[in-house]
Amino acid sequence: MTETFEEMLEELRDIIRKLEDGDTSLEESIAIYERGALLVKRCEDLLAAAEMKLTELGRDR
């Protein structure tokens, strides 16, 4: 299943909450930090693709 941009943002918010609450073990913190880094990269890629598409659409005018 492909996650939407909005779903990935929500998961990132959850990760941030867990990291900030201080109740997460070091091992879990590292694992969710890695997941967060992956999600950030995927979100950045989606935004870059959207920006490119909007730029191309603007040129078609």
Average pLDDT over residues 13-30: 95
The answer to whether the CB of 43 falls within 8 A of the CB of 5 is yes
Give the whole-angstrom CA distance, residue 25 versus residue 38: 20
Could you tell me the pTM of the whole model? 0.84
Average pLDDT over residues 24-34: 96
Rg (CA), the chain: 16
DSSP 2: P
| pLDDT for the residue 1 | 55
Give the whole-angstrom CA distance, residue 7 versus residue 14: 11
